Structure 1
Amino acid sequence: MFQVATATFATKREQYADLCEQARGILAGEPDLIANAANFSALVFHSLPDFNWAGFYLFDGTELVVGPFQGKPACVRIAMGRGVCGTAAQTRQTQLVHDVHAFEGHIACDAASNSEIVVPLVKKDGALLGVWDVDSPLVGRFDQEDRAGMEALCAIFMEAVDTAA
């Protein structure tokens, strides 16, 4: 069983579907990127188990810069193509990493992180906004259902960004 707030779900798919509805609700009508990113980070971090970091790295035109997040202090700047976040940003492909210690070039911002999923955030016009990054202290925490769920959540976030632009 998976739990979000006070609801219990039989599957991760149901859990992510509920989170998507909650995300639509907190993002609806709010045009401010930082406010939306902060609330989105809090929603996901506090709704799903076994995370030690969930948040945004925003692209400043040169590199990724830490944005709103939940968790311990993080690396402030990440070069394009460096680590899991920089790789996701450069390739514009979701990176699902079973064991970060096996990922060549992994940046250990928090030594407690053992697995990670990073979703690139691309605007409708093709411009890179940044990445959505989630870390877990558990090896193998993320699977294909998490990938689909995180990508669906990020699509909702990016819809709000594109609507506000």
Structure 2
Amino acid sequence: MHTKKSGRYNRLYEQIKDLVKATENPVTRMATIAALLHHKMNGYFWTGFYFLEKGELIVGPYQGPIACLKLKKDTGVCWAGINRKESVVVGDVHQFPGHIACSSQSNSEIVVPVKDEAGRVVAVLDVDSRDLNCFDEEDRVGLEKIVELVYNH
């Protein structure tokens, strides 16, 4: 099913694919992805990456209000994405056990694992919205395709 939202993700994918050709640096690519998504997608309140480093999740490039710099291990939606090795869509974060509220304005969230060239989960893309139920299957599919551009050449 091709909707307006999936069409927008496809256009963003093509735009990001062209932009990230300039460098193979994953942090630079993440910064570009976060900025573009944050400013082009409706409902995105906080858009960014958390890196898995020495067993901890620490904030990487992002757009939006100040973030939690480190996320408590095995707690919240980002860690759920890391531990499950799959995307997690949460319609109401206040109903998610162990949700970490970096901002009280966030009401829904999607987390997409980022895998390196070897297929290891090394980070997550985290997007929060002020709206309840902002994210769905179209967002999951579109964002999973986009985060593949962090390490793919």
TM score, norm. by length of structure 1 = 0.87
- CA shift at 1:38, angstroms? 1.2
Mind listing any 5+ residue stretches in structure 2 that lack a counterpart? none
Is the aligned partner of 1:84 residue 2:67? no
RMSD (Å), alpha carbons = 1.5
Aligned pairs (5 A) from 1:130-145:
130-145=123-138
Structure 1 residue identity aligned to 2:130:
P
1:148 corresponding residue in structure 2: 141
Structure 1: how far apart are the matches of 2:112 and 2:82? Answer: 8
Which segments of structure 1 move beyond 3 Å, counting only runs of 4 or more?
Answer: none
Structure 2: how far apart are the matches of 1:43 and 1:125? Answer: 26
Structure 2 residue identity aligned to 1:36:
R
- Per-residue CA distance 1:33-66 (angstroms, 9 max, x = gap): 2222111110110010111100000110211100
Is the aligned partner of 1:18 residue 2:11? yes
1:42 corresponding residue in structure 2: 35
SS of the residue aligned with 1:117? Answer: strand
- CA shift at 1:125, angstroms? 1.4
Structure 2 residue identity aligned to 1:122:
K
Structure 2: how far apart are the matches of 1:64 and 1:86? Answer: 8
Structure 1 residue identity aligned to 2:41:
L
Report the identity percentage: 37
Structure 1 residue identity aligned to 2:97:
E
Is the aligned partner of 1:122 residue 2:115? yes
Count residues in correspondence.
152
- CA shift at 1:10, angstroms? 5.8
Deviates more, 1:61-70 or 1:31-40: 31-40
Mind listing any 5+ residue stretches in structure 1 that lack a counterpart? 1-8
TM score, norm. by length of structure 2 = 0.93
Aligned pairs (5 A) from 1:31-110:
31-110=24-103
Structure 1: how far apart are the matches of 2:142 and 2:105? Answer: 23
- CA shift at 1:12, angstroms? 1.1
Deviates more, 1:103-112 or 1:72-81: 72-81
- Per-residue CA distance 1:54-108 (angstroms, 9 max, x = gap): 0000110211100000000011111442100011111111000000001000000
